[in-house]
Chain A
Amino acid sequence: MNAPTSTPAALKEWPLWEVFVRSKQGLEHKHCGSLHASDAQHALQMARDVYTRRQEGVSIWVVPSVAIAASEPNDKAEFFEPASDKIYRHPTFYAIPDVVGHM
């Protein structure tokens, strides 16, 4: 039995990838998680094993996590604010007589 004391110094980790899975034809790819893999081919194989063991997908995208640009949570207010006072963009803004029926 190995004594659980000596572990070799951590080598460089495999890079991180974000995984997107299309669950069936006609639907979009959806983010489902991330994983570590040495390259794109490896990431695809790992994604198949980790995220589609029960036929959850018919297509997988993997993207290096470092390649994703994201909006800043701290800027959420000013970034998304401009849409909040434009309620006329919603159909419910307009009153239509009942007699018209569904529109």
Chain B
Amino acid sequence: MYTQSFSVADASEEGKSAGLKAVPRPMSEAELALVDQFEARIAADGRIEPRDWMPDAYRKTLVRQISQHAHSEIVGMLPEGNWISRAPSLKRKAILIAKVQDEGGHGLYLYSAAETLGTSRDEMLAALHSGKAKYSSIFNYPTLNWADVGVVGWLVDGAAIMNQIPLCRCSYGPYARAMIRVCKEESFHQRQGYEALLVMMQGTAEQREMVQDAVNRWWWKCLAMFGPPDENSPNSAQGMRWGIKRISNDELRQKFVDATVPQAQVLGVTLPDPDLKWNEARGHYDYGQIDWDEFWETVNGNGPCNKERLGARVKAWNDGAWVREAALAHAAKQAQRQVKEAA
């Protein structure tokens, strides 16, 4: 579903960045030539492929960002998965199952892309399960009723699409290719959510209130999904130089606001921001202050559902251990049988 558009330091890295910095050893001439080659390719808007030489920092940044993105897809299945058994009709249930399955698929594309950088699936999952790795904060909020499922599709996936489209041009080939696949599927996610809300808005007054209430609860959290303002986003500049990030947090956020306001009007809901108004001079909508304290509280583990989400992932992993082992045992036995038959 979505990556946080900034790469937050994972837990183990936080201490390091504040403390001592390793002194880089001087580079050999051969290494300097490789750096030049890499920089030249980036400058020419070329692509880097898995077996190409790349600076350690580039590799590390990508591993962190792609694995956080993958974790977000996987944890992102939970808030909506909650509603599969309670969907209001068979049609909505089938749609929701398909959407949640897509999110799982997106996680798998992304884990594979990260693995091309030399990390392993098990390492990434261990980092998620230990609480060391971050994932998008938006999934640490609860989906309280059916209107939330529609709003998650419309706004959360809408914000995700804004973020993900520029990633299709990321300088790292496997990540860009995974994102192209993801973006193709994401449009269905947003449209099904919006359409579910349109149907509710044609229902009773109570249903309309449910939609408005869900929009009120999710709007500001979706704006925060784009990450801190550009002036407080020190890693962004390096990401931009490397062609990993193409459009700044604030610019993406503005695009999202501009695209969403007319959609809200058609739907017949108000966005909960008294400062939201068209600015003729800028040619954009102005919007109010985002509560960054709440955002960081949630990123740092104190959101309403952080423990529940991680607990559900760890339980699923542990409960599935016997399946993973049995599949390997079965494969080994089959392979042995084939050897015997051949003999």
Contact = CB atoms under 8 A, between A and B. Distances in A.
A, B assembled together: yes
Contacts of A10: 122-123, 125-126
A7 B314 contact: yes
Given A10-B126, A35-B108, A42-B327, A16 B115 contact: yes
B70 to A, nearest CB: 13
A78 to B, nearest CB: 15
A8 B126 CA distance: 9
Contacts of B29: none
Interface in A2-34: 2-8, 10-14, 16, 32-34
A73 B52 CA distance: 6
Contact of A11 (B177, B324, B330, B335): B324
A58 interface: no
Interface residues of B, number: 43
A38 B331 contact: yes
Contacts of B313: 4
Nearest to B327: A38
A11 B321 contact: yes
A66 interface: no
Interface residues of A, number: 31
B105 A53 contact: yes
Contact of B331 (A1, A39, A49): A39
A81 B206 CA distance: 71
Given A14-B328, A33-B112, 13 more contacts: A4-B310, A5-B130, A5-B131, A7-B126, A7-B314, A7-B318, A11-B324, A33-B109, A38-B331, A39-B331, A53-B185, A70-B51, A73-B51
**Closest 10 CB pairs between A and B?**
A38-B327, A39-B331, A4-B310, A10-B122, A38-B331, A2-B311, A1-B311, A7-B129, A34-B112, A73-B51
8 contacts: A5-B131, A7-B317, A10-B123, A32-B181, A33-B181, A39-B327, A39-B331, A53-B102
